């Protein structure tokens, strides 16, 4: 009986773990995440993905972020929050790359324009000003 209980507990534990989508998983350490860890991992992975995309002057829309999650079987009580945290992390990572000075000249211009469109100069200046106050 003990063997059966242990096997059930193991199966139950595996059923309560989640893998991040491949593109996000590249930006976070660890393997599967328990639901309590998932949102923090999503935010961290999103930051890495945002910084990476900024270096490539590419910006992912919210629809593209949702598309990354297609096929994942997350419970309804966590899925929208995990997506939101990944998106917030993405925006934070992208913004950090833009205001940090790591991107210069044409790369910074292209990344800012991809993120903000036509009004990118004012928005980038405002973001840099906010960072200098922090």
What single string gives the DSSP state of each residue in 3-24? HHHHHHHHHHHHHT-BPPPHHH
Identity of the highest mean pLDDT range in 7-11, 37-41, 76-80: 37-41
Spatial separation of the C-alpha atoms in residues 69 and 20, rounded to whole Å: 8
Strand partners, 33: 18
State the chain's maximal CA–CA distance in angstroms: 68
Residue, of 83 and 127, whose pLDDT is higher: 83
pTM for this model (two decimals):
0.81
pLDDT digits (tens, 9 = 90+) for 39-78: 999 999 999 999 999 999 999 999 999 999 888 888 888 8
């Amino acid at each position: 009986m003990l063997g059966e209980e242990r096997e059930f507990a193991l199966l139950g534990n595996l059923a309560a773990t989640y893998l991040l989508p491949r593109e996000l998983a590249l930006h976070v350490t660890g393997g599967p995440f328990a639901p309590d860890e998932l949102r923090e991992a999503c935010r961290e992975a999103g930051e890495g993905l945002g910084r990476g995309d900024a270096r490539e002057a590419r910006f992912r829309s919210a629809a593209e972020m949702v598309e990354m999650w297609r096929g994942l079987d997350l419970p309804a009580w966590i899925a929208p929050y995990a997506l939101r945290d990944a998106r917030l992390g993405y925006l934070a990572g992208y913004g950090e790359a833009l205001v940090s000075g790591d991107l210069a000249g044409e790369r910074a211009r292209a990344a800012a324009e991809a993120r903000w469109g036509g009004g990118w100069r004012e928005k980038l200046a405002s973001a840099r000003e906010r960072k200098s106050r922090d």
